[in-house]
Amino acid sequence: MKRLYLFNFLIISIFSANAQQQPAKEIVRKAYDLMQGQSNETVMRITIVRPTWQRTISLKTWAKGSDYSLALVTGPAKEKGQTFLKRKNEIWNWVPNIQRMIKLPPSMMSQGWMGSDFSNDDLLKESSIVEDYNHTLLGNEPFDNKQCYKIKLEPKPDAAVVWGYIIKWISKDQYFQLKSEYYDEDGALVKTETASNIKTMGDRQIPTHFELIPADKPGNKTVVEMISVIFNKPISESFFSQQNMKIIR
């Protein structure tokens, strides 16, 4: 009887663990798909805030799945026309002022994008929060008056990712990623991102105001405001080319 009880306990434990892991990944997938769609075209404004100054960068981006993205800086004048391209595993930067095409090595993915608190990986989404991480449902916890799933994302052994792990608060009702904490390999908190100002963009409701606050730099933050988003507009893979980087407007 004891052996039978132990066997049943092990079977139940295995199924419980699998049941917990699978929903966690599906929750993250739904949250990712909500913000990405099959493709998207986005106009946004990024404000870099520092204790003694701040500046704003205007940006237009295009993305297709997780393999292709193109970002065009539309202002200010000093950076206008600069583009960033992700095409599968390659990342490129076109700098019109010096007429130079620069290939970004993987080591630069963790560096700040144009002086902001966002990394190159954040902007170009080299890593996938769905496929590059294992997901564990830690429980349920409210954030900003919404009931949320609290999920831990730990990188797979062979994944080329920036973070040691990530913890996300995803709303139960509409799968909004309302809060994300990013930790380094030693388990120290590096930065926290929060999302708010839910608006209808295209065929869905999404957060449109994001604040990224580094843990070790008081008074620093980066604010992103989504001006417009078009989801699931057909975009060919040929659009994401080095040639188009130089002429896109």
Q: Report how far residue 195's alpha carbon sits from residue 180's, in angstroms, rounded to the nearest whole number.
A: 9
Q: Which of 37-46, 84-93, 140-149 has the lowest mean pLDDT?
A: 84-93
Report the share of the chain in percent with pLDDT over 90. Answer: 74
Q: Report how far residue 122's alpha carbon sits from residue 108's, in angstroms, rounded to the nearest whole number.
A: 12
Q: What is the DSSP letter of 185?
A: T
pLDDT, tens digit, 9 for 90 and up, residues 195-242: 999 999 989 999 999 999 999 999 999 999 999 999 999 999 999 999
User: Strand (E) positions, 127-176?
Assistant: 133-140, 148-155, 165-171
Indicate if the pLDDT at residue 122 is higher than 80. no
Tokens of 72: 């065009």
Q: Report how far residue 5's alpha carbon sits from residue 1's, in angstroms, rounded to the nearest whole number.
A: 6
Amino acid (one-letter) located at 164: G
Which segments of the chain does DSSP mark as H helices, in order?
Answer: 2-36, 120-124, 242-247
Q: Which of 4-13, 39-48, 76-85, 238-247 has the lowest mean pLDDT?
A: 4-13
What residue spans define the domains of the chain?
5-58+115-231
Confidence at residue 111, expressed as pLDDT on a 0 to 100 scale: 76
> Going by C-beta distance under 8 Å and a sequence separation of 6 or more, which residues neighbour residue 22?
none
Q: Report how far residue 163's alpha carbon sits from residue 208's, in angstroms, rounded to the nearest whole number.
A: 24
Indicate if the pLDDT at residue 19 is higher than 70. no
Confidence category of residue 156, pLDDT binned at 50, 70, 90? very high
Nearest one of 231, 238, 243, 242 to 61, comparing CA atoms: 231
Phi, psi at residue 230, to the nearest 5°?
Answer: -110, 120
Confidence at residue 13, expressed as pLDDT on a 0 to 100 scale: 44
Check whether domain 5-58+115-231 has CATH 2.50.20.10, yes or no: yes
pTM, two decimals, is 0.85
Amino acid (one-letter) located at 93: N
Indicate if the pLDDT at residue 182 is higher than 90. yes
Indicate if the pLDDT at residue 61 is higher than 80. yes
